[in-house]
Structure 1
Amino acid sequence: MLRQRIRRALGVAAVGLLPLAAPLVLQGSASAHGYTQNPPSRSSHCAQGNVSDCGGIQWEPQSVEGPKGFPSAGPADGTLCAGGNSRFAQLDDPTKPWPLTPMNSGQNFTFTWKLTAAHATTSFRYFVTKNGWNPNQPLTRSQLELTPFLTVNMGGQRPPFTVSHSGRLPSGKSGRHLIFAVWDIADTGNAFYSCADVNFR
């Protein structure tokens, strides 16, 4: 009888702990994200303290996640840098003093992502703004060349926590531009988005 009472009490206690355990499980799965470090993305600059008044992205630069399918679907125009996530709207603000990473048009460059967990991946894609784009407005599809200048297909493989891609930068670019990077996830309906401000020489 005593053993039955102990078992019953333990069962009730375990059931009572389930509501507490569930958020922990969800938080663990939500930490599987990433962002570009080279060139430094806007979220990276916020996390490093290079740009102030960034809001919550400074604590979780890896969390710029939104619906995939860009450019035919995905985040709405004007919210691309934040992945359509209103919590990170500061990333879409063109008036912030975003540092510019110098680049040489037409030369090879190695892009680097930092991942907090590795999703099964369809591809990494890199887009650039058109010549004559307006850097004083939030990024829209009409300001981007919608054919990526670099695509790395993964076929559902999981990348390492630090993943690099080498490729040739677009030619015929000069001055300030944005590089818009998209990490397409294979086994969810989402992608991760990253904007990096650069200066082509």
Structure 2
Amino acid sequence: MSASAQPLNPVRRVPTTLLRILTIAAAAIVLLATALVDTAEAHGSTINPASRNYGCWKRWGSDFQNPRMATEDPMCWQAWQADPNAMWNWNGLYRDGVAGNHQAAVPNQQLCSAGRTGGVRYAALDNPGAWQTTRVSSSFGVKVHDQALHGADYFRIYVTRQGFNPLTQRLTWNDIELVRETGRYAPGAGTRENDPVLNGVSNTINVSAPGRTGRHVVYTIWKASHSDQTYYWCSDVTFS
């Protein structure tokens, strides 16, 4: 090759900064695609009092990189750091094939993650600590959102017994008391939500849990009627 000849396809190095930008952008696209898929195959959650992961998504979903979360909402912060998909997939915390044997499917200290369904995706929801709470009285409503119009064979609502400390204790079956079990809800039964993100129907289940003060956990089991699919949610409350 003569001194004046040039390679036909010279190799050009991509700047390190550009590679980092492309990597971050690719990760964001994966997260967005996951969120869109899960919305298309949506299911539901308790929305008032909010389940732990729905509450985190509602407060921080559009601002999840804000460092203020670490001090203002530390339990959400640790959950986002552990696996952000727990919040993006707030409507998919369920187990298949339980056949009504909830205590066998969901071990003690893993109630909030539905027995670590999906591997460790929801594991951070089991961690005790200062989760943000909703103030309630001894009689209150639990609002459940059925995003996919599954209907329900039943809902079971439990509340932790007086003396349980959600700041330091992981939830076990012995810590909760059944305060309400409903009958069947037909698919599509309920009130339509105007929020386009929810895009389904909601039902409010009235419960009574007297004799409680301070922080507690409301534990909701939703047995969907379209298949053997069961949802498990922890919601944090403070009794006035």
Shorter-normalised TM range: 0.7 to 0.9
Show the 5 A alignment for 1:23-38: 31-38=41-48
Whichever residue aligns with residue 169 of structure 1, its letter is: S
For 1:57, the equivalent position in structure 2 comes to: 86
Residue pair 1:32, 1:119 contacting (<8 A) in 2 also: no
SS at match of 1:159: coil
Q: 1:94 aligns with which of 112, 128, 134?
A: 128
Gaps of 5+ in 1: 1-26
Q: 1:41 aligns with which of 46, 51, 67?
A: 51
Show the 5 A alignment for 1:16-165: 31-48=41-58, 49=60, 51-54=76-79, 55=83, 56-67=85-96, 68=98, 69=100, 71-84=102-115, 85=117, 86-95=120-129, 97-105=130-138, 107=139, 109-135=140-166, 136-145=168-177, 148-154=178-184, 157-160=187-190, 161-165=200-204
Gaps of 5+ in 2: 1-36, 61-72, 191-199
Say if 1:180 and 1:39 are closer, same or farther in 2 by CA, change over 3 A: same
Q: Report deviation, 1:29.
A: 10
Identical counterparts, % of pairs:
28
CA distance in 2, matches of 1:141, 1:30: 33
Larger Rg: 2
* Greater strand share, structure number: 1
CA distance in 1, matches of 2:38, 2:218: 30
Q: Report deviation, 1:110.
A: 2.4
Q: Report deviation, 1:199.
A: 0.7
Between the two proteins, the alignment pairs up a number of residues equal to: 170
SS at match of 1:94: coil
Whichever residue aligns with residue 87 of structure 2, its letter is: Q
Whichever residue aligns with residue 169 of structure 2, its letter is: Q
Let me know the Cα RMSD of the aligned residues. Answer: 2.3
SS at match of 2:122: helix
CA distance in 2, matches of 1:178, 1:112: 15
Whichever residue aligns with residue 158 of structure 2, its letter is: F
TM value normalised by structure 1: 0.75
Runs of 4+ aligned structure 1 residues displaced above 6 Å come to none
CA distance in 1, matches of 2:101, 2:132: 26
Residue pair 2:51, 2:233 contacting (<8 A) in 1 also: yes
CA distance in 2, matches of 1:32, 1:154: 20
